[in-house]
A = this chain, B = another copy of it.
Amino acid sequence: MEDAQHLELVNHLKDHLVPTAELEDLVSLFKSLGDLTRLRIILALAQTTLSVSELTDILGMSQSTISHQLGLLKQMNLVKGTRAGKNIHYRLADDHILTIVGTVKAHVEEQKK
């Protein structure tokens, strides 16, 4: 890289980086979706509301693990649960998440060619 214009751009970039703190939320969200178990939970919840034990059964993993991951997803505002008697019904917090997953899925499909 040599021309002056580019150099200027680089210097500008250096001084005008998006503050790390502001990116943390983005990173956290991507991290949340970047796990097979959590993504499977989300895709299941995209179909219907499910209790912890139902998810445990569907995904074939320990109750502890499911609960753990649901906790994370809840903390990230990706899912929310409401108690119904002994059970807790979990659902997606927001359809936005499906849009995101859909967008990425489209990208992956396209890449395959």
Contact = CB atoms under 8 A, between A and B. Distances in A.
Interface residues of A, number: 55
Given A13-B44, A48-B6, A111-B77, A104 B26 contact: yes
B34 A30 contact: yes
Interface string A22-62: 01111111111111100110011001111100100111000
Nearest to A7: B54
Contact of A23 (B17, B36, B57, B97): B36
Interface of A: 1, 6, 9-10, 13-14, 17-18, 20, 23-36, 39-40, 43-44, 47-51, 54, 57-59, 77, 84, 87, 89, 94, 96-97, 99-101, 103-108, 110-112
